[in-house]
Structure formats: C-alpha cells, structure tokens
Structure 1
C-alpha cells in the first residue's frame, strides 16, 4: 500500500503552515485515515529538506486544529474526524487490526452455509412476483402477514397492512423519522443515541434535542421540559439494550415516558432491533402505547449480517404516511431477501439463529467481565457491545487513537453524542466482529491501555 507523502514542491512560506495544510487536506480526503501514524519528525524533515523545527511546528499546528494527537515516546497519529458525523467504525477492515469498532452479530463458518442453503431454497422456489414485479402491493401481502405473526410473538399486535418491510433498520429509522416529524420540527432523543440519527436529522432539517438520562434511560422530566419548549414533536427511543449505554429500560420508566408522550401528543419511535434476542425484556413501547409508537424490529443484528431486513409497524393514523415515505425513499425491500426471511421464520431457522447468538454472546460477556474487571463499563448479557466510561482525564478520541496504535479498533463516544451538554468520555467495544481468541487479545490491549497514565498531547521531537 502506498503511504501518502507531502509534496515538497507545493510548500510555500510560512513552510510549517503550508505543510500542515497538506496534512489537513490528506486527512479530509481520506488519504490519511484515523489512527495512521505520521512519520517521525526527523525523518520527514530529512525527506522534505526542511528543518526539524519546521516539521515540529507543523505537527503542533495539526494538534492545535484537533487533527492529530502526539504521545511522548510513541509518535503522532491521526485522530477521528471532528464533528458529530464521525463514523464510529472502521470503513475498511485492516488485517493488521483487531476490529472491535463495528456493531455486528457473532458469526462463524456455519452462518455462511446457512445463507447458502437459504439462497438455494429461494432459487428453487422463487415465484414470478418476487422476481418480476415492480409493485409492492403484489409482492408483499403474504410476507406482511408473516411479519404480523412474528411481531405478535414479541408482544406487539400489528395489522399486516400497518407493517412496512424495509432493507434493514437504517431504512426503517429514516422512514419513521420522516413520518413522525415535519421538516423544521424537533426530535428528542437520549444525549447518547444512534450514530446515524445525528446526520439524518441534519439532512432533513430537523432539530435533534438531547435529553438527560440515568441508569434507566431517558428521564421523563427531561422529555416533559423539551415538549414544553416545543423541542419534542417526537422522541426516538432505544429502550432494550441497543442504545450506546446498553440501557434496559424498566417497564415503570416506559410507562412514565408514555404518560408524558400522551400529555403532549408526542409520537414515539421505538428502535427495538434486538427484539426477541433479549430474554425477559419488558413489554415493548408499541405494546404499551400502540396508538403513538412507530416500532422497528430488525434481523441483521440478531441473526447474521447478510439478512438486511427490518419491520416497521405504524399506528393506524400513520400507516399511509409511513408507506408513502418508504415508497419515495426506498420503493420496497428487496423481494428475494424478503422471501428468504419469511421462509426462515416459517421453518424456525430465525429462532435457531437467535438462540445461537444468545449462547455465543453469553460466552463473550463472561470473557469481557473477566478481562475488564475493575473498569467502569456497562453491558447487557444479550447486548452486542460494551460501553466503557474512561477514567477522569482520559480523552475518548485520544484513547481510540492510542488503542488503534496498539492494534485494536474501538469506537469513540463522540460519534453517538448529540452535543457535549452531558459529556462523559467513553468508548464502545463491539463483541461480535471477530473470533473469540482475537477478542481476548483486543480486550487485553484495552485493559493495558486503561492502566497507563494519560499521555500529554505533545508531538515527539
């Protein structure tokens, strides 16, 4: 792989600013990824024909701009991009890194065979509507009936015609947000929320209002106050172990939130993408307040990554709007994959995949408790990740960059934070992206890093 180098012929006075600008452009263009170590200053100075002092001042300037972090004795390396739209995971998997940054279910070779067998079944049984039709109404009615039965098993009574089948939870979230809030409106959410909700609201012209939380999730008073200020036409909820902090909201808190929503006529968007993977979870919000909840039930995170499908169920008053919003943004879910999902629900393959996932997650959570003993982290027994709050004085972006420098990728809390109003530096550690032995090594690296003193933000000279 070619390593990016500054162009000495493009330097102009003052040279250190010109050099810093070249680095900044390379970072912005993706030529220098987060975690990339910059050359030692003496070597770069020699290569460019500059003084070490000039290169040192350029690195200082990059640190001042928040683009680079420097550790005494280790060197300087690129930080994740600034702003709320930062991607929490690696956009490309590097064979040199243990990737604990991306949230995905655990899988092994058996999952590949299951997918192959499933696609073989679809190839043998594929009908003309799924292969040839452009009209959702002619393709999906039978699949909506199966979806309604699936939701009923999770405690939600949804009419088949109220269900929109989408290509994954992201599509469902987009449709739900567009259905619940007009452009220029306001959506309230926990201060730490789904990382894609932040840029989505920006693109749609929707104000995203951060709400205070405690160990049980969003505080009802926080939602009430936001509604009184006109900052909560709807509220986005992740009540069942999928939120960044893996919160499992109690039924009492769910009822308190619903009471506020009813008093202010607030629509609730419930992201319940782990759904039945979570054993003994309280009743979904959609079961407690069916008249105002847009409910999202996913399969990608509970079964295997290739099954990118979700169910969005809407209250009767929003059914037509949800269908229309999905139509204009996605038209319809991929019929061939919907055929596969429906078949797997009917023959219990989905149940077997979910049970396998529970067992595998239990083993990984046990390992994490052993490896991170004494650290301040949260994780539900069936969550796909851990939320690690950092000790006082440790910066989350610096911690992520330091971890990457040691060979493990994790996600900065900044990617999930609406703003810094309730900031507590933290990182997300995904448990599913890699095999168990590699997870053990990654957790050991993180444990070792936690034991170190915070390094000063200075470049190596």
Structure 2
C-alpha cells in the first residue's frame, strides 16, 4: 500500500476535487505507480484530517476519470498506464465540458442521464414532413437561408404561448434550440465581464457556456419553491448583475415551481435593479400548471425560451425566443453570429410540426409515455424521498445515509445504469450539497427497460452499505 499523502492546502475548488486532482497528478508523474493500492478511505481521512465523505467523493471522481479500479473487499488500485490509455481510447462514455456527461451510452447500459422526448414512433411523421419539404422547397434547401417566412414566426408565437400569454410574431426569433437561443440573448444584451445570476443548481450548460464567452456567474439561493426573492435582491444590490437565468416551472433538476407571489417579487426586483430576465420554459410548458409566466408580469424585461427537444424530438434541434419589444432584431443577429445561421430544413420542419398540429399530437403521445414511466418510478421507489411530476421526464432523488451523490452515481454505473449526480447541475463553484441525484427516464426504449433500471436504483438505495463499500 502506498505511503504517499496529498496536501489538502494545495489547489483550487472543493476539497474533494483538489484531492482527486492531486492523486491524478501523482499517478501521471509516477508517485502512485501502476497497481498501487490507495489507502482505505477511513485511514486516509484520519491521516489528512478530513471527513470520510470527502475521501469517498475524491475516490469516486478518480473512478469517473478512469484512473483507478475498485473491488469489494480488496480496495482501490491505480490502473496501469496501458489500461488507462486503452480505456480512454475505447470507452464510448466521452467526457464533455460538463466533466461527466456521456454522449453515448456504452453497450448494455441503461440511460437515465437524459431527458429527451421519448421515442414513440415520431420518426415516421418527421420523415414524411422532410420528404414533403424536399419536394416542395428544393431550391431553399440547396441554398443559404436569406429570409425567414412569416409562418416561422407564427409557429414560434404559437409554441411559446402559455396560459393567457401569447407573444406577437414580431417579437419571435427562431433558433437552433433553446440553448442557442439563450446564448444569443446573453451575447446580445451583455458584455464580457457582466454577471449572470443562476441558482446554485440549474441547467449548468448555460453557466459554463457564459464563462466561455467571458461573462461571470453570480449564484442565488433557492429552496423547495425556487429562487428566494430576498436573496435575489441581495445579489442584485451587491453584485449588480445584468441578467438572471430562471426556470420558473419544473426547474431542472429540482422540479421546483415558483409560486405566483415569488414571480411577482422577482419581476419587481428586476425592474428596480434593471436586471434582464431569461425565462426558460422548456419543462414549464410541459407542466401545464399555468401559473402566469414572469413574462406576463415583466414583459418589458423578460425573454422567454422554449423548443421541441423535450416534448417532440431532441434530434429536431429547433426552438424560439420571445423578446421584449424592439429586441428581436438584435437577438436574431446575435444568433446568426453565434451559430452561423439557421438551416432552412430545420426551421421549416419545426414550423410545419407546430402549424399542422403534429407537434401537439406527438407531445400528447410522449406525455402518456412519460406519465406511465413516472408512475412506475413512484411505485418502485416508494418509501424513499424524491420529487417528481407526472408530466416531467425526470425525478430528483434524495439519497439515504451514507450515500454521497458522486459515489451513488458511480455505484449505479457499475450496475449498468447511467444517472446524473448533483455536481452535473452546479452553476458555479459551490460547497452546497443536497445529496441527491437526477433520474431521467425518457431515453430507455421501453417501459420494461425503465422498470429494470429503477429496480437497480432501488437495490442500491436499500443496500446502502454494501453498495457504498463497492467503490471504497
């Protein structure tokens, strides 16, 4: 067993990440040689004066990086350089900017780490539409998109409508999906160095993307009902943010929905401190609680974003933005500069899906499938603490002692199930922990596969100590 010890004073970020980084460096430079056995978690925790939970998270992170292997009763060992290289070359779990999200599921794995619209046979309908467009619009497909027809804007106005709120087609911008729309807004109305407000846990791909374009993140506190208005105002006063990113309904990953009084308070605070609001309604539109959007309360300061990826088909990467008055052209130009432009085929198929009613029909079929899968999750996970919504394709699961989020994720992976731990959703460097994981159940091919994956999760929850030791 190695006598090497990390220095907890070195490095940046959460302590468990610093420990993992130092161990990775020690492996790469040879201080931890091939086959070396890492100290038992309790021993190392005692030796360097930290909690066993911190060591567990560091070891789990090393597992995720493909640097060590662990076996029940044997401990954790450094993989050989040959094994590390081979694993990196052959492992289809490709690491993206998020640091942990796989782009393709390895063979035999159940994918609970995605919330794309379930496959209910919509590809046949999409194929027919594409064939129609190819026949009717061959010249438009063969060239650049130089002008947008009116029905592209009308489709966006129709899809974004929610409750009593319906945007005018004149304020709509068709986009390459919700994420591209959000980034177009941010680059249109902010400058490098401006601060953007995010909840501690949210759709973190946006917060990471704003860092790439030179904007800074400001974190705001939230609870079971979403953003806390008093802390929102504190951040506005102290950090002078330019924009706040808000998922007002069915927040990802917490499923929190802001009550009306909080929406009104946030709208008032945004007016008071001249903060722009981006209201991501991607999941909210599926929830259908129809609490008025913040855009209804602050129409002059709120951009609304939605798309087809969760309700119709993720492969149809289309969406729309509804802008405050006089901002549509600015966002349209920013979107073109950021993305290179909107392909005619994509925009046309999205518009036809919406205008023909096919998008709503597909969503209703997806909704029935999601309802069945969510009901199955509630049945199998009964007795455990989780938040779910009948119309939303994921749940937010509280882990019992002694599980940590990253450790549970790794244990699930060892059992053939891919899930997202809480770090996947952290918008910035935060010590806040919820000891939860997100279980997305829309990607498996069948309800039977969902059932099998949920039974694995249930088994880990009910046998916490045994599963915990497997990654020690």
Q: TM-score range by the shorter chain?
A: 0.7 to 0.9
CA drift at 1:155: 3.9
SS in 2 for 1:386: strand
The answer to whether structure 1 residue 116 and structure 2 residue 111 are counterparts is no
CA drift at 1:259: 1.3
Q: 1:133 to 1:202 in 2, by over 3 A?
A: closer
> Does the CA-based 8 Å contact 1:274-1:298 persist in structure 2?
no
In 2, Cα distance between equivalents of 1:228 and 1:281: 31
The answer to whether structure 1 residue 307 and structure 2 residue 316 are counterparts is yes
Q: 1:89 to 1:19 in 2, by over 3 A?
A: closer
In 1, Cα distance between equivalents of 2:341 and 2:471: 52
Residue equivalent to 1:369? 378
Residue equivalent to 1:73? 73
Q: What per-residue deviation string (whole Å, max 9, x for no partner) do you get for residues 67-105 of structure 1? A: 137464376499xx9x99535532222122111112211
In 1, Cα distance between equivalents of 2:471 and 2:381: 30
> Does the CA-based 8 Å contact 2:306-2:320 persist in structure 1?
yes
Residue equivalent to 2:14? none
In 2, Cα distance between equivalents of 1:112 and 1:142: 23
The answer to whether structure 1 residue 94 and structure 2 residue 106 are counterparts is yes
SS in 2 for 1:208: strand
CA drift at 1:248: 2.0
CA drift at 1:340: 1.3
In 1, Cα distance between equivalents of 2:112 and 2:353: 29
Residue equivalent to 2:193? 184
Shifted more, 364-373 versus 150-159: the winner is: 150-159
SS in 2 for 1:189: strand
TM-score normalised per structure 2: 0.79
Give the 5 Å matches for 1:161-310: 161-310=170-319
The answer to whether structure 1 residue 433 and structure 2 residue 443 are counterparts is yes
> Does the CA-based 8 Å contact 1:119-1:340 persist in structure 2?
yes
Q: 1:334 to 1:275 in 2, by over 3 A?
A: farther
Residue equivalent to 2:360? 351
CA drift at 1:157: 3.5
SS in 2 for 1:56: coil
Q: What per-residue deviation string (whole Å, max 9, x for no partner) do you get for residues 259-315 of structure 1? A: 111111110011111354222321222222210011101111111122210001111
> Does the CA-based 8 Å contact 1:411-1:427 persist in structure 2?
yes
Residue equivalent to 2:139? 128
TM-score normalised per structure 1: 0.81
> Does the CA-based 8 Å contact 2:162-2:290 persist in structure 1?
no
SS in 1 for 2:345: helix
Residue equivalent to 2:52? none
Structure 1: give runs of 5+ residues left out of the alignment. Answer: 1-17, 26-44, 49-53
Shifted more, 387-396 versus 428-437: the winner is: 387-396
In 1, Cα distance between equivalents of 2:269 and 2:75: 52
Residue of 447, 457, 463 corresponding to 1:452: 463
In the comparison of the two structures, how many residue pairs are matched? 413
Structure 2: give runs of 5+ residues left out of the alignment. Answer: 1-21, 45-54, 80-92
Q: 1:307 to 1:231 in 2, by over 3 A?
A: same
SS in 2 for 1:428: strand
SS in 2 for 1:139: coil
